[in-house]
Structure 1
């Protein structure tokens, strides 16, 4: 008789969306992670313990985004969610444009997937559909779920995604400021329509960006040009806009990470990445934390934990 796990471990990467011209479409998984330990308990309800980012700030009951995403997934699968104790170890910065809310949503979904193993199997399309239902759009949740570079789009039958392998020469660098940015505010600054020539401009750059990220990193500066969203949001985060301009004028492929205010630099090698970090360290007017990262190729994982707390092989 198959039994469902009573304890699972979850690991979900940070993400950066848009990548310049690929507004609401392109996303990249990065090597910064939030991790969960979720254990079924006999009592109903949920209790969350948070270590690291968000400790003392995020809810620790059923209203926690991880727990509510878990509950939504159980309901979507026609099952009642058990009581759980959740321990979160967070390293993804909140409110900085690195997909922290998407990671929380995906963490809850993956925890539910793990706890339902042996009872209900949740395939990749269903994972993406549930995550998009909860997050509102798939550009952050797709790379969080599947890793690598993802192209996400919506159809009448639901969200879809294609995962691509990033060229090994691409070296991501993220500059994280001390201040935050509301995604809701950032999106409210977008116009309802854009000029025809701007739309054409971004279509060409998005196509070029796929080539740059997968085959030709030397094209990255031209490929990350954008006219659809960054300029409209610049007034809300002037420090970010100023640093993006400084970096791009110096030849670095810098863009706003997601809704901001962090900045992503897609360097075409470790040497260029180090040079960009040195430029910011010596010329930026405000403090920025430089994070030299790798592309995460694995995406979210969930692992059953046995009674001896030994990890079983990872599953997706």
Structure 2
């Protein structure tokens, strides 16, 4: 445990100092900062999908709510960026409980289908609520008064660090044991005194809050947001792909999945959008067929081989 904690702190220190001592271009610097945000969002989805076993296709709803609430607070009241992100995140967490408390009683595909409906309903409401979201025209955030894209690198790193710490806490605490019991058999967990409702609500609130904060980060990063982007079904799918490709239920996996997602997007999406979708789909199929534990599982299998003389 101490070795893992030391490695985590060392990695954070290296990533924090790297832009100050290495000749990293502005484009690469910005992309790395955005990758931190994607990794934090994937980890937050993993708390519900990986730890509880409830696969959500509607997390874009919290991403969008957090982004638009933060954007409105910045535009209308001039709140500091960090405060606006936190308020947007808490609002997204509360919104997650509104729809999640009743739907979390469903299991398996029934819950997943319900979350698709939540995500699409949220997208439609946001599109037609033009007074708040700007509708199809979206919202433009002020370019002055907040952190620059260069500074957002470190904000993204802090978000990722927080997501990793919470992930580790959920995995190693008594809450983690309760979540494992719920994931294996919710009825049996209830028989031994584990309240599935309470623990699932807690995880959903934490997940929705972190995703909402990341939505606020994304709004500041882009300086322009619209409902079709923030609430899109593709965004919910990307969270699932990052976790599955990296290794669902692990801490390292979603981070690796986010790195792979961003690399493929940046190198192929602009010029070869068809190849981007095809390559990502092919990678997903290969991992499901040959390495169900994802890239994290592959690294775990290769570690003993490297240590063999």
Q: Given the two structures, how large is their TM-score scaled by the length of structure 2?
A: 0.24
In the superposition, the TM-score normalised over structure 1's length comes to 0.23
Question: Counting strand residues as a fraction of each chain, which structure ranks higher?
Answer: 1
